Amino acid sequence: MNYKKIEINYISIDEVEKQYIDKSLLYNSLGIKLNHNFAICQIIYPRSIKKSNSKFVLVESENYDQRRCNILNYLIENIVIKNRQLGLKPATTMRRIKEVKYFIEYADNANLNFINDINQARKAFLRYTKYLQSSIQQSKYTQRTASKLQKEALKLLSNLFSVKPIEIKQSTMLVHSGNETRTTKAMNESDIQFCFNFYHDLFESIYDFIINNATYPYKAIITNTNYWFLPYTKGFIANELKVMKNSAFDCHTGKVLTYEDLYYEPYLNINKRKRDTYKKAIRVFNQYLQNANNNQFSSERLAIAQLGVQTYYILFLFTTGMNDSTASTLKWNENYIVQKEMKDFKNIKYRAGDKIVKFQIASKFLNLFKKFLEIRSYLLLHNFKSDYLFFQGYGESTYSSTTAKSGNLSSSINNRISKIFNTEKLKFLTSRTIRLYKTKYLIRHHGIIQAANTAQVSVVTLLKHYTGENEETSAEQMTKYYNNLNKSALIHSSNDKEITAGHCSSFGNPDSDIKLKSINIDCEKSEGCLFCKHFRCHADSDDVRKLLSLLYIIEETKNKADSIEHFNSIYLVVIDRINYLLEEISKHQKDLVEKIREEVFEHEILSYYWEKRLEMLIEIGVL
């Protein structure tokens, strides 16, 4: 078979968007720079070949299919550009494109000409669904993965033929995700506390050593164990359990050997060859000591300072509750301000590029953060700058590693430090475990609302993913939270003002103890009203219909979301709030709630406002 070699032109997402708008994209050689270079042009050449890391793709020239440019248009507009606008990571974009590509490759291998007409597309979707179902049974895919792959294929095909998904799907069964939500398992808290104490003691020791320009050998007491910083760029940590062979330094006494010591016990009876080995070690060690102690920015000190940055990174996850993938690529600006958020908490706020960046830190850890900034400045030789809060290297040669960009920095650090200090417990610490520990601590000491705000997730998501408790405990916490919120909502008077979600006792004066990442609590959006102290819900048909109408509109827009995860991140907390209100009303008006639920969801008899909203959404093509 004759193949033609085509050189791939890799361009950035920004350039893709610009050329797409200008209609100047060259599809037949297009590659996109994501977290890895991706040869998207392969899609228009069925059964093309690209070797790993190659700048070329081998294609059968006669297999070029101009119609497949529409697939590239779909991928560029609905995934590449849209994900960029949403601020999603390139890795997420790459994953979604590959999920679409899985379907295309399956169809090509099965000789299913899905692009010919809509009937062929339906046939291909049905065959692909059967393949996915078979793959689940063979444990090739989890149910959740198969569901995602099927949905991506359905989105592609409905877009290609400009029809609603039901026109492609018809009677084909959808693969349900199976609700395989991964709940973080609660670890032994004493082990997690040990890890925190270890990193805290290590960081404080490094800070003292670097900033105060202490001399080698330096004694660091970490979780009641003595360690020594030695003047080496490698093997620079030693203790009684990690003694360096034939070393001129005694880890037990903290003493540097002298030539005279070699003529006393325990060296008195060693042979000449061994004594000469020790003499050489003493001479070399003292030379290292002199060089390192006379140079504040020696390579040995810089190596320890870099370890200090890595150590504080783990403490940063502990003290902020931030995600690994977010923290590791956090941009930085020295012109930051500290704002009081609430009792015991501070906000660190600054501008990075054209964005305002803000994260929250407990007041008692603010001084630790400032110490880290001093070490960071030391690594930049008090002269250079880095766009990133955390980086590798020093001076003008700093960079953000591929490990940091992939969101696996904490695992890499834990593995490295566990080896250096021969401490196994650190290997089992993950960013998710840290986030869990932070969340549970905040729930115990500051309440669930503060825990959700710090974790930057909804209360629902928090309890579902990060409490590490069993279902009964999570349900108990959830019930307690909404019961408190419902106390005021279900008390009303004749002076309440009618609003689209119910009633309001003080319109124009939004007030809430809760802060949601996805929903603004104001008087402009119905979703936000549900979490306001002044929200009131009358136990009558009008207010019940308003709540169910809002719930209906939300549920109808689910299929238009980028993903179910994206949808849940915005609306799950609202759905949960509505359901809790309806449950409270159902305790006394169950028949009324069920009757109106059927009218809304079966016959689309919505309240006036939401009926007009539905008509508008249908008219503009959202639904």
Between 65 and 146, the more confident residue is: 146
pTM given for the model: 0.49
Q: What is the mean pLDDT of residues 530-559?
A: 83
Whole-number pLDDT of residue 136: 77
Whole-number Cα distances in Å, 442 to 115, 190, 251, 448, 478: 53, 17, 40, 7, 15
The tens digit of pLDDT for each residue in 427-454 reads 778 777 777 676 666 555 544 444 555 5
- Report whether 403 contacts 322 (CB < 8 A): no
Whole-number pLDDT of residue 372: 95
Task: State the amino acid at position 593 in one-letter form.
Answer: V
pLDDT at residue 234 tops 60: yes
Q: Which residue has the tokens 């650090």?
A: 413
Whole-number pLDDT of residue 206: 95
Whole-number pLDDT of residue 209: 95
Mean predicted lDDT score pLDDT of the chain = 79
In the numeric block, which tokens belong to residue 60?
Answer: 């059968």
- Report whether 426 contacts 198 (CB < 8 A): yes
- The candidate with the shortest Cα–Cα distance to 344, out of 316, 315, 365, 324, is 365
Between 435 and 577, the more confident residue is: 577
The full DSSP string for 343-412 is TTEEEEEEEETTEEEEEEEEGGGHHHHHHHHHHHHHHTTTT---SBSS-BS-TT--B--HHHHTT-HHHH
Whole-number pLDDT of residue 322: 79
**Alpha-carbon gap, residue 399 to 465, rounded angstroms:** 33
Whole-number pLDDT of residue 456: 52
- The candidate with the shortest Cα–Cα distance to 91, out of 517, 408, 413, is 408
The residues, ordered by sequence, that sit 6+ positions from 16 with a Cβ below 8 Å of its Cβ are: 25, 30, 32, 76, 80, 81
Between 100 and 177, the more confident residue is: 100
Whole-number pLDDT of residue 431: 75
**Alpha-carbon gap, residue 491 to 503, rounded angstroms:** 11
Q: What is the mean pLDDT of residues 52-81?
A: 79
Whole-number pLDDT of residue 473: 45
Whole-number pLDDT of residue 119: 93
Q: What is the mean pLDDT of residues 141-160?
A: 87
Whole-number pLDDT of residue 572: 80
- The candidate with the shortest Cα–Cα distance to 315, out of 388, 381, 390, is 390
**Alpha-carbon gap, residue 385 to 395, rounded angstroms:** 8
- The DSSP call for residue 602 is H
The tens digit of pLDDT for each residue in 8-30 reads 899 998 898 888 888 898 988 89
The full DSSP string for 580-598 is HHHHHHHHHHHHHHHHHHH
- The candidate with the shortest Cα–Cα distance to 319, out of 263, 381, 361, 278, is 361
In the numeric block, which tokens belong to residue 5?
Answer: 């070699």
**Alpha-carbon gap, residue 182 to 198, rounded angstroms:** 28
**Alpha-carbon gap, residue 556 to 554, rounded angstroms:** 5
Q: Examine residue 165 and say whether the peptide bond preceding it is cis (omega within 30 degrees of 0).
A: no
Q: Order across the sheet with 497-499: list the strands.
A: 497-499, 502-504, 535-536
pLDDT at residue 133 tops 50: yes
In the numeric block, which tokens belong to residue 405?
Answer: 């960009």
Q: Which residue has the tokens 């003694």?
A: 243
The strand ranges marked E within 254-371 are 255-256, 337-342, 345-352, 355-362
**Alpha-carbon gap, residue 489 to 505, rounded angstroms:** 9
pLDDT at residue 183 tops 50: no
The tens digit of pLDDT for each residue in 307-326 reads 999 999 999 988 887 778 78
Whole-number pLDDT of residue 491: 66
pLDDT at residue 563 tops 70: no
Burial of residue 225 (CB within 10 Å: 0-12, 13-18, 19+) is middle
pLDDT at residue 395 tops 70: yes
The tens digit of pLDDT for each residue in 479-526 reads 555 555 555 566 667 778 888 888 888 888 887 766 666 677 777 777
pLDDT at residue 615 tops 80: no
Whole-number pLDDT of residue 376: 95
Residue 562 sits at φ, ψ, to 5 deg, of -60, -40
3-state DSSP of 461-519:
HHHHHHCCCCHHHHHHHHHHHHHHHHHHHCCCCCCCEEECCEEECCCCCCCCCCCCCCC
Greatest CA separation found in the chain?
102
pLDDT at residue 477 tops 60: no
The tens digit of pLDDT for each residue in 581-600 reads 888 888 888 889 999 988 88
- Report whether 489 contacts 536 (CB < 8 A): yes
pLDDT confidence tier of residue 181, bands split at 50, 70 and 90: very low
